[in-house]
Amino acid sequence: MKFVSFLSVVVNGEMIEYYDISGCYILRPWAMSIWELMQVFFDAEIKKMKINNSYFPLFVSKTVLEKEKDHIEGFAPEVAWVTKSGESELDVHIAIRPTSETVMYPYFSKWIRGHRDLPLRLNQWCNVVRWEFSNPTPFIRSREFLWQEGHTAFATKAEADSEVLDILELYRRIYEEFMAVPVIKGKKSEHEKFAGGLYTTTVEAFIPNTGRGIQGATSHCLGQNFAKMFEINFENEKGEKAMVWQNSWAYTTRTIGVMIMVHGDDKGLVLPPKVASVQVIVVPVPYKTVSTETLFDACAATVKCLSEAGIRAESDLRDNYSPGWKYSQWEMKGVPLRLEIGPKDLEKEQVRAVRRDNSEKVDIEMKNLAKEVKDMLDNIQQNLFDTAKVKRDACIQVVKTWDEFMEALNQKKMIFAPWCDEEEVERDVKARTKGETGAAKTLCSPFEQPDMPEGTLCFASGKPATKWTYWGRSY
Ligand SMILES: O=C1CCCN[C@@H]1CCCn1cnc2cc(F)c(F)cc2c1=O
Ligand SMILES: [Mg+2]
């Protein structure tokens, strides 16, 4: 789906309404319901991990936010400030949280005294503000967005390392099991990682239509960097004073944008059933040979039968739109399955099912309705993932030399190359590929590393390669 159509699809699909402040968007129910369905899954999963939700203030004082210069110096231009209340200047300017490390960690320091206070594992569902200037795009890059941010503290590095991967697996599930979007799990390079942390793990998605990678969600091990900065110590079992090991992890409303870009087509949105607030829309096809009331009753009974089977079904009984108009509107909104009920269907005690993913039409017997519809929805979910994976894999290009790299980059590929893992070389590749469509950067080094034949050289530096890494232009 091309960019222009992305902007029109999110508006025509009634997900987004533009707002009079640039970079800010209204999330309408059709989008908010997707966020909520994911939240139900993720919140239940972190509760199983004994992670508690909390809520910290939106505001950070300047002194606290700038406690450690190098943590935010690169981000300073993005920070939004409250400088006045009414007509009076605030003597201490207050930042709106762009992320909550500096909000939370002074209290982690206060609450964590002994090893019995560990692990401390908090999450919050909230909004954050980052006053970015690069091209704002609904869901993908906005000045305010919704996310969950997890912040955890452990006595040992091993516990932190293990939780980083547990959370990353939840992010993979969000993308692959709910959004039907294939992602690659891996580690960010030293250049691309969260500078305040020890290492960053990520699930990377790829948008075949634009040939750009996109960071899907991140799970950072912060090491003891913030413990040092905020003096978060505890007395360990040997009575020694030790610093905690911390993680922080987030996914955002960007997930919805990725899903739209991957599955959308020229008829509009295509929603995976797992995240569709309406999975089945029932549309009556009136005809003079049968009373509208009979048809409407059949639609209502169909909705009731599906709802009782746990399927999110609605009927569209509006009498001021034709069936054809309704079909295109619900296709634009991406409803996975449409059931048409006309006189003939009534006679044969069946419904005409039309799939949104491949436009296939099949007749379903009313008596097997719930089971057949459930199976079709599962099939649509799987088909969307399989189709997206084939498309994404077709974009992956293995390269060994600089020329092959440049050719693949200009063919909008997701490049898989042997790399010497030197930060200087990554900076050099960025400089050499700078262009109006943006430079190439590392996306991640996948945990699953193919073997590196003896003597393989880095595609960019010619030095001995140490790891296989995905490269590409990105959002
Ligand atoms: O990405 C995560 C997971 C959830 C908690 N935070 C981490 C790292 C966020 C990295 N980051 C990202 N963006 C920022 C923007 C700012 F304006 C700013 F002051 C600080 C940051 C900033 O620290
Ligand atoms: Mg940023």
Band of the pLDDT at 282, cuts 50, 70, 90?
Answer: very high
The answer to whether 195 and 73 have CB atoms below 8 angstroms apart is no
Find out whether the beta carbon of 81 lies less than 6 Å from any atom of ligand 1: no
What is the distance in A from the centroid of ligand 2 to the CA of 295? Answer: 53
Query: At 118, is the secondary structure helix, strand, or coil?
Result: coil
Query: At 326, is the secondary structure helix, strand, or coil?
Result: helix
Residues contacting residue 45 through CB under 8 Å, at least 6 positions apart: 170
pTM given for the model: 0.97
List, as one string, the DSSP characters of 291-344.
-HHHHHHHHHHHHHHHHHTT--EEE---TTS-HHHHHHHHHHTT-SEEEEE-HH
For residue 70, the model assigns a pLDDT of: 72
For residue 130, which atom of ligand 1 is closest to its CA?
17
Band of the pLDDT at 289, cuts 50, 70, 90?
Answer: confident
For residue 95, which atom of ligand 1 is closest to its CA?
19
Find out whether the beta carbon of 68 lies less than 6 Å from any atom of ligand 1: no
The answer to whether 134 and 141 have CB atoms below 8 angstroms apart is yes
For residue 2, the model assigns a pLDDT of: 75
Beta-strand runs (E) in 224-267: 233-235, 241-243, 245-252
For residue 4, the model assigns a pLDDT of: 73
Q: Hunting for tokens 């002994």 — which residue is that?
A: 114
For residue 434, the model assigns a pLDDT of: 94
For residue 259, the model assigns a pLDDT of: 98
Query: Which pair of structure tokens corresponds to residue 334?
Result: 């991406």
Buried b / exposed e over 363-384, threshold 16 CB at 10 Å, is ebebeebbebbbebbeebbebb
The yes-or-no verdict on residue 418 having pLDDT over 90 is: yes
The answer to whether 426 and 445 have CB atoms below 8 angstroms apart is no
What is the distance in A from the centroid of ligand 2 to the CA of 141? Answer: 9
Burial of 176 (0-12, 13-18, 19+ CB in 10 A): middle
pLDDT digits (tens, 9 = 90+) for 250-267: 999 999 999 999 999 999
For residue 58, the model assigns a pLDDT of: 98
For residue 303, the model assigns a pLDDT of: 98
Q: Mean of the per-residue pLDDT values for the chain?
A: 96
The yes-or-no verdict on residue 169 having pLDDT over 80 is: yes
Find out whether the beta carbon of 145 lies less than 6 Å from any atom of ligand 1: no
Higher-pLDDT residue of 438 and 112 is 112
For residue 310, the model assigns a pLDDT of: 98
Band of the pLDDT at 84, cuts 50, 70, 90?
Answer: very high
Which secondary structure element, helix H or strand E, spans residue 414, and what is its range?
strand 414-419
What is the distance in A from the centroid of ligand 2 to the CA of 316? Answer: 42
Beta bridge partners of 145: 128
Query: At 44, is the secondary structure helix, strand, or coil?
Result: helix
> 280-284 and 313-315 as β-strands: parallel, antiparallel, unpaired?
parallel
For ligand 1, atom 10, name the residue with the nearest CA. Answer: 194
The yes-or-no verdict on residue 3 having pLDDT over 80 is: no
Band of the pLDDT at 128, cuts 50, 70, 90?
Answer: very high
Q: CA–CA distance from 108 to each of 114, 229, 235, 241 (Å)?
A: 12, 12, 14, 15
pLDDT digits (tens, 9 = 90+) for 205-254: 999 999 999 999 999 999 999 999 999 999 998 999 999 999 999 999 99
pLDDT digits (tens, 9 = 90+) for 33-50: 999 999 999 999 999 999
Band of the pLDDT at 352, cuts 50, 70, 90?
Answer: very high
ipTM of the complex: 0.98
